[in-house]
Chain A
Amino acid sequence: MRHLEVACVAFVALVILGLVAGFASLWGGLIGVVCVAAAAVVADVLAQRRVSAWGYLEREDDLLIRRGLLVRRLSAVPYGRMQFVDVTAGPAERSFGLATVRLHTAAAASDARIPGLEAAEAARLRDQLASLGEAHAAGL
């Protein structure tokens, strides 16, 4: 499912860059297309690596979220600290049946989101987190 997201990004990149290159002469256009295709393959590999680096783990008291390759981040968000959970799905995400789950705590710095979840899994996670949050709730 995450593969689709990657393919989508690569495709969009190909189209946009192809169009830009197309404004040049025929040869320039051909070279441009080849370059773009090569770049797209590289981008695809990188994006795939990036996506596979993204993960989450539901533990007893908190949610662990891991992301990033160059800068590696691991966040632990206690269920009791969650203020609210929202699920968003942009047009691109929606067309592939994906959604992003975002956790909000009182701290602006704890940027905890899980993109590219299947809609059903996103809804399950949201409900799960909401009920766990209620059970663990703590004041500020």
Chain B
Amino acid sequence: MSDDAIAGDGWHRLHPLSPLIRAGRAAIAIVVIVLPSLRSGGGGLWGNASHVAVVGVLALLGFVSWLVTRWRIDGDDLRIETGLVRRSSLRYPLAQIQAIDTVRPGLARIFGLSELRLRMAGSGGAAKLAYLPARQAEQVRARLLALSAGAHPDTPEATHEEILVSAPTGRVLASLALSAPVLWLAGVLICVAVVEVVAPSAVGPVFGSSTIFLLGSVVSLWRQFNASYRLTVADAPEGLRVRFGLVETTAETIPRGRVQAVRMTEPLLWRPFGWCRLDVDVADRVRDRNDQRRDGRQLRALLPVGTKADAERLLTRVAPGAPRAGARPPRRARWKSPLRYRRLAYGFDAGYAFATTGRLARVSAWVPLTKVQSLRRVQGPVQRYLRLATVHLDTAGKNVGAAFRDVDDAESFRNLERLTELARSARRT
């Protein structure tokens, strides 16, 4: 692929193998659905012919979709045109890019292709270029990042970077073994074992009815593992670079100043090891109808599992100068939140607000005041009786906004007023 292939003007097509790779991912799903019906012996010749016909139609559709899809970088926009019957021309303003991901599913890696995913602010969802040859994808990504930062389009991506943290595989496996899905899985298996002893004839139905659940938890575990495998976070001039993946690899660049909130979670079971998890939230809509998939709604883990020192080091990069300790709610808040009370804390300075909460796990959230969208004070009936109130800071992310829970009534009004002022002056600088 020559360099002028992305020189900016003119339309480009995706790689011709793109539909195959997309279908390849769907094919696994089809096999999973079709296999039981084949095994049960139904269908016969007619059934097989219909399967072949379905596959043929899908292949044709894939080819047509490739034929009618084209893209170009047009000044400050990325334009994608697609659709045969209902033609749609999408225009993504580069200034609104929140993060750029290079995603390479296993099949695409075999063919040396990658997908570019531009996470945008607003309700349009992500812009996807699937798939491009890996080298071209790198070039397009560098170009898009440069354009979104307002630099000259031919600015190359900086090569020097400072690796901040990486997650050792052993620790990732250990942390997964101590996570909620595995415990549920173990619980279900124990139940099945108990049923086996008590009523052996009932094992089949019990096992059958929990198959979907088991499959679901295995898939979610696999995703978590894949998203944590060999994860490294590096600090580069254009932002944070996050890379991870075993089969499907992802390289993501979060430009500076796009982080809406940071969250640190310390689950109960990880406490003996002093581990924690650090997530960042960037602004892309959750309630997007096109992107209902699970990973579309998950936060990006900067640190899937790490020591407190690792988390601290990342935090100082992502949220420099954020406060760590703050005020605690009055003692009477114990009546309202008996489990949470021990953890509740909140604080803010001119740049950041933070709040800690959580019943079993300890969850802390930091929100830059420049990113606060609105402030809310909410007081339920029990809180009113106890003269308490909660102050919420809403951000454009996925509901990670910090909440000052069960603050003294008068204090909550003072906080609201003070935060409004601080957020205003933070916005103006």
Contact = CB atoms under 8 A, between A and B. Distances in A.
Interface residues of A, number: 22
12 contacts: A70-B380, A72-B379, A73-B377, A73-B378, A75-B374, A106-B122, A106-B283, A107-B373, A107-B395, A112-B374, A138-B427, A140-B283
A108 B287 contact: yes
A101 to B, nearest CB: 15
Contacts of B374: 75-78, 81, 105, 107, 109-110, 112
Contacts of A77: 373-374
B381 A140 contact: no
Contacts of B143: none
Tell me what chain A mostly uses at the interface: helix, strand, loop, or mixed: mixed
A112 B392 CA distance: 14
B243 interface: no
A133 to B, nearest CB: 13
A86 interface: no
A106 B396 contact: yes
A78 B121 contact: no
Interface string A93-110: 000000000000111111
A140 B122 CA distance: 10
Chain B interface residue bracket vs A: 20 to 34
Given A70-B381, A76-B376, 14 more contacts: A61-B424, A70-B380, A74-B376, A78-B374, A78-B427, A80-B427, A107-B394, A108-B285, A108-B287, A109-B374, A109-B376, A109-B392, A110-B374, A140-B283
A62 interface: yes
A120 B122 CA distance: 30
Interface in A67-95: 70-78, 80-81
Interface in B361-389: 371-381, 384
Interface of B: 96, 98, 121-122, 258, 283, 285-287, 371-381, 384, 392, 394-397, 399, 401, 416, 420, 423-424, 427
Query: Which 7 residue pairs are nearest across A and B when measured between Cβ atoms?
Result: A110-B374, A106-B396, A107-B373, A107-B394, A105-B373, A74-B377, A109-B394
A62 B378 contact: no
B368 to A, nearest CB: 11
Nearest to B426: A138
A105 B394 contact: yes
A78 B420 contact: yes
Given A78-B420, A78-B423, A81-B374, A109 B401 contact: yes
B375 A75 contact: yes
A77 B287 CA distance: 21
A63 B183 CA distance: 47
Interface string A33-70: 00000000000000000000000000001100000001
B380 A71 contact: yes
Q: Which of B371, B376, B420 has its CB near the most chain A CB atoms (within 10 A)?
A: B376
Contact of A109 (B384, B399, B427): B399
Contact of A110 (B287, B371, B373): B373
A84 to B, nearest CB: 11
Contact of B376 (A81, A106, A110): A110
B420 A62 contact: yes
Contacts of A112: 374
Contacts of B96: 140
